Every structure is written in C-alpha cells, then in structure tokens.
Amino acid sequence: MNLFTQQFPNSNNFFLMAGPCAVESEEMAFHIAERVSVICRRLGINYIFKGSYRKANRTRLDSFTGIGDERALEILQKVGKSFSVPTVTDIHAANEADMAAAYVDVLQIPAFLCRQTDILVAAAKTGKVVNVKKGQFLSPDAMQFAVDKIRQSGNDQVILTDRGTTFGYQDLVVDYRSFPIMKAMGVPAVMDCTHSLQQPNQTSGVTGGNPAMIETIARAAIAVGADGLFIETHPDPKNAKSDGANMLHLDALEPLLEKLVVLRRAVNEIGS
C-alpha cells in the first residue's frame, strides 16, 4: 500500500499525525481519534492517528511505559478500522517491527534510534510506511543515510520528521533549513511541533516543555513547505501519563488547524 497515493486524496494540503503520546486506554484513544478525525475531514486534512503502544525511552524507572503491548496495539488497530484512518506507532527494536506491522500502517523510528541499521531494515522489510524521526544530534543532510537504508531494503515509503536539535543540555531548537534539505531526498518532510518543544534532562527526571510555542513552530513549518505536521494532543495534558508538559490541549487543536489551512493555501499560491 502506498499511503500517499491510495489513502491521501487531499494532496494540496498538509497531512497530520496526531494523538496521545501513549495509548492510555481504549476510551481515551477513541475520544481523541473521533475529535481529530471530524476536524480533519472538515478541513480537508489527511489524518494519521498516532499513539505509542509502549514508551521505551523514559528518564526514570517509575515512569509510565504502557498498558501492555498487545492490548495497546489492538486499540490502535481498532481505532484505524473504526475511523477509517491510518495509524502510526513507534518501534524500539528490530524484533518489534513485524509485531507492530500486523496492527498499524506506519512504523515510526524514534529519534535516538534513527541510525540503528537493524531497526531501519526490519521496518523497511515489513512493507509499511516508515517514519524516521531525525536525531536531535544529526544534521538534516545526514538523514539521507537513513533514507538510503530503507530504500535499499526494498521499501520506498519513507517519511522524515524533524523534532528539533539539541541546544545545550536542556533545550532544543528548530532549524527550518531541514525542510528543503529533507524534501530534496524525495520524501515527505514533517515537523514534530510538540517534541521539538521538549525541555529534556530536568533535575526532577520529568521532561518539561513549552506548549505555548506550538503554534509558532507549526506556522513556521507550513510557511517553509513542510508536507505534514506531528502534534501530540490530549484532553487533559496535565494528567497525561506521558509527555504532558509539551502536548497540545485537544480543545486547542481545531482553531490551530484552521489557521494553518489558511496559511497552507497562501503558501500554495506563492510556491514553497
């Protein structure tokens, strides 16, 4: 299946990967998916539901990691079928690729693992779309090697997502030159509007964030020609079990997307 030619008819608009950081429950996943899918249909935005079935990269041992792999993956599959949307989830090791691919449409490679050849190859060989997060420690040019590994493994369905670059010890910055550089590789380039605002390595062991800047990051990404946006959203970010500090409140998503659709039209008129 080629996600972008068979399931994404609104090619003149950006696409959206959105959902909770982690799958917390079926009720929560369905609540978010229903709200976002209705908004995206109205605005002509192609939508991919996002949810991590397990959080492997946690700062503290007592941090929430998931509700169980099989249960979370079953919820993702059920969301996809119920709302007729593709789904995306992270994998953390090569032996997880086939397992996750049985339930979702897009396999996501976390930023810290974007150079791990065995994971990239295993994801590619499933035949699913592979979304690779750009490492916080890499230049956008270096992502060509991740793209090459996937293509040389027989899979041409690649997405690259920028999630900011390490700046000092507890902050990230976004270099918008990444988008023309990564798009020149012949792949869709996505802006992760929420993880790029993380404030990692806090002394509390809980990652901070700056969600007030999500709109700024998103608007700039659309202005420079990003093909898609990645936004983690939750109806109650303060009580989310993972990454609540940088998630967008679900109620704020629709007005943000309305502005971004207008901006995308303007970009299309002048050319990106």
Structural domain contains residue 194: yes
Residue 86's φ and ψ, nearest 5 degrees, are: -65, 160
pLDDT tens, residue by residue, 94-146: 999 999 999 999 999 999 999 999 999 999 999 999 999 999 999 999 999 99
Q: pLDDT of 204-259, one tens digit each?
A: 544 556 778 999 999 999 999 999 999 999 999 999 887 777 889 999 999 999 99
Asked, for residue 3, whether it belongs to a domain, the answer is: no
The model's confidence at residue 200, banded by pLDDT at 50, 70 and 90, is low
**Average pLDDT of the residues of the chain:** 91
Question: Is position 147 within any domain?
Answer: yes
CA distance 88 to 131: 9
Percentage of residues of the chain with pLDDT beyond 70: 90
Distance CA 126, CA 178 (A): 27
**Residue 7 resides in a domain:** no
The residues pairing with 188 across neighbouring beta strands, listed in sequence order, are none
Backbone angles phi, psi at 140, to 5 degrees: -60, -35
| Domain-embedded: residue 260 | yes
Residue 85 placed within a domain: yes
Q: Is 208 domain-assigned?
A: yes
Domain with 148, as residue range(s), is 13-267
CA nearest 163: which of 140, 185, 181, 142? Answer: 140
Q: What is the pLDDT of residue 203?
A: 45
Q: Is residue 6 part of a domain?
A: no
- Confidence (pLDDT) at 271: 76
Predicted pLDDT of residue 1: 46
Q: List the CATH number of the domain containing 180.
A: 3.20.20.70
Are the CB atoms for 86 and 3 separated by under 8 Å? Answer: yes
Nearest residue to 174 via CA among 237, 222, 110: 222
Q: How many CA atoms lie within 13 A of 251 on its CB side?
A: 3
Asked if residues 122 and 94 have their Cβ atoms less than 8 Å apart, the reply is yes
Instruction: Indicate left, alpha or beta for 210 from its phi (over 0: left) and psi (-120 to 50: alpha).
Output: beta
| Residue corresponding to tokens 């917390």 | 24
**Average pLDDT value for residue range 68-96:** 97
How many domains, in total, are found in the chain?
1
